[in-house]
Structure 1
Amino acid sequence: MKKFAKRTEVLKESIFTTMSNKARKANAINLAQGFPDFDGPDWLVQAAKDALSKDDGAYNQYASALGAPALRKAVALQQDQDWGTAFDPESEITITVGATEAIYATLQALVDSGDEVVVFEPMYDSYAATIDMIGAIAKPVTLLEPTFEFDEKELRAAFSSKTKAIMINSPHNPTGKIFNAKELDLIGRLAVEFDAFIITDEVYEHLTFESTHQEFAQWRSSPVLRDRTVAISSAGKTFGMTGWKIGWTLAPEAITKTIRMVHQYIPFCATHPMQMAVAHGLEHRSGYIAGFKAEYKKKRDLLVGGLRDLGFDVLAPQGTYFLQIKVNENAFDFCDQLIEKNGVAAIPTAPFYLKHKQGDHLVRLCFAKRDETIREALKRLQAR
């Protein structure tokens, strides 16, 4: 048999898969992978059921490759109402199979083999894997503890004539950081100076605890940056429906055309009934979002407070549903022992770095769980 494609040689099993498998085998509480252990809103589940039988099953067939018109219009309205940013649903919004496909299609559309992409580490592991698969080069800039700010000199040094794009995730997985105005200003100025695209991952846009996402959204949509920016988001985190895999890109028409060319040859379209349900969700989100944010803030405070009471060094997040703890041993060993001895699964943060040693002492925990799940996890951790 001939060898498999060389591009697969750089790929490894995702740390999410590894730790979730270990959690299942040990019947451990899974605070590792980022998904809720409770269902999303009943009214949204009902909207999905309705879509399966509505209009004589019309939504059980392919949607437009661009995305169902109803969902593109709903996304445009959400962006306008929530953040004051305007996008044309016909020419600037594309519906994808979750944010991960949006990231893949965007990088394929904008970045060539040999190009450089500036990334902030630690980072969602799909970024580096996709950059590797297209033959580009990731240029990491480290977010420094305890506030996860970056060194301006390191960011400047990461840019060069080979820089094609910079990726920024805010609120940030896995640290929970929200990039501030000063940081965004520098990122924007460097992108313009080096004529680089900006790719923003905003899937946690509604999970901010002491601020809102409006400043970030208006920054990336400012007149100076809008023509070079692709904004990415999804429904999975906002509605607690991670299995639905409905995401989108927001970009100027010229970039959108190129993304759509790539997207049509990956899935062609996202699942039609789920698109219609998400459209309904966005149209009726106003009574939901405030309660959603308040509930997750309570969960954050429950886990942060409980861990601190147990003596853990907790780096509390500004957003997302993740937090970091610092440990005094190798994070991989710590997480393995946590599963084996305490029946709780967490994620070592090192795989989120290109320079793994940077995160050897950091562990990520997810609080998108029922309160009783969080309390039981804390009870088990008392035995350490």
Structure 2
Amino acid sequence: MHCRLVTSLAELDAMREDWEALLARSDSNEPTLSPLWLLAWWRIYGGEGNRALRVFAFYEGKRLVGLVPLLQRDTLYRRVLPFRRLEPLASGEDEADETCSDYLGPIAERGREEAVAQEFVVALAKGAAGPWDEILLPSMSADSPFTPLLARKLNAIGAKVYVQTSASCPFVPLPPTWDEYLLALSSKHRYTVRRALRDFEKEMGAPPVLDVVSRREDLEPTFDTLVELHAERWKEGHGGVFASARFSAFHRTIAPALFERGALDLGLLRADGRPIGAFYNFVWNGKSYFYQSGRALDVPRGVAIGIVMHALLIRRAIERGLREYDFLAGASRYKLDLSPAVRHLVTIRAAQPRLVEHARRTTESAIRHVRTLRHALRTEESI
């Protein structure tokens, strides 16, 4: 096995076919690790914050067997301490622009995970990516074989390694029938779903209908309706995620590409012809991923648009023979109510044992100490 460091978009784009083939031979076949997602992300976000491509490609002969899609940038810890950071593509955006890409991490041919992890860490230790102070790997599945492998191998080269659970992803392992899905829920949540479907028709005067985009010419107007309904839901706050120009541009770029490969589930929830809900899902590797939605506010109070929409989408996924409906990160109440299972995301951070890391840890300790003193003083004043 040998390592090649990819540092230009043209080089990475030229690997698209081999990259797609590697994903299909891996246990990391996620839309967020595909060329479709990561190349579009780099084109829109890569020019910000002095980011530089540092993609590790591993070959056995001419066969691509591993890929670790990283970038390097300089960042400030607590806006003071400079850190040279390695992090995955599709992460590290400004908060307002975040794509919230889940299930990031290395890709390896099935059975070659340990060898790829080993060669990656050896390449890092030899300085293949240049100097770095920390590696930050967010949004990795806790179930990924790379999670324990990377933690152990980074620790072996002297890095200080931290592994922290960062989020939960409720999901539905899809059975063969809708009735079996309902039986997998608790009696309380089963009643919630059935009542939501019953009350919807009673209050709206018509049954709920999913209108899924099936023609290219319907994609853009449906996406516009999604953005409008999403903004309506958040109009009293920050306007929702599509208020970010970069976020919106990213998704208007990938949505047509997802549609062309049959991986887009974009559509509207209608009642008597009127759109009152919108959904933006991905279908990939036998799974449906719920990514974003919107809803009208001027509906009767008893109408649970979100529960109804997801119930219909889960039933549709079952009818299509998919194996899972994934709500992605966020343990919202409605996600937990509809999901019999949960998986976790973790963040791995590995830091070089250098002065800058010592300064970071000292700063953190001082901040915790100050907070403890403030809390003690407030407690004393209240007595």
Which TM-score bucket, shorter chain as reference? under 0.3
TM-score by length of 1: 0.24
* Structure (1 or 2) with the greater helix fraction: 1
Structure with greater contact order relative to length (CA < 8 Å, sep ≥ 6): 1
Structure of greater Rg: 2
Larger strand share, 1 or 2:
2
